[in-house]
Amino acid sequence: AQSVTQPDIHITVSEGASLELRCNYSYGATPYLFWYVQSPGQGLQLLLKYFSGDTLVQGIKGFEAEFKRSQSSFNLRKPSVHWSDAAEYFCAVNGNTGGFKTIFGAGTRLFVKA
Partner 1 sequence: SQTIHQWPATLVQPVGSPLSLECTVEGTSNPNLYWYRQAAGRGLQLLFYSVGIGQISSEVPQNLSASRPQDRQFILSSKKLLLSDSGFYLCAWSVRERFSGNTIYFGEGSWLTVV
Q: Which residues bind partner 1 (CB under 8 A)?
A: 32, 34, 36, 41-46, 49, 51, 90, 92, 94, 96-102, 104-107
Nearer Cβ to partner 1 (53/114): 53
Least separation in angstroms between CB 4 and partner 1: 9
Q: Which residue lies nearer to partner 1 by CB, 25 or 36? A: 36
Residue number with CB closer to partner 1 (65 or 92): 92
Residue 9 Cβ vs partner 1, minimum distance, rounded to whole Å: 9
**Burial degree of 53 (CB within 10 A; 0-12, 13-18, 19+):** exposed
Cα 102 from Cα 56, distance rounded (Å): 21
Q: Is 70 or 98 the residue whose CB approaches partner 1 more closely? A: 98
Q: How far is the CB of 44 from partner 1 (least distance, A)?
A: 4
Contacts of the segment 59-64: beta carbons below 8 A, 24+ positions apart: 59/35, 61/37, 61/85, 63/35
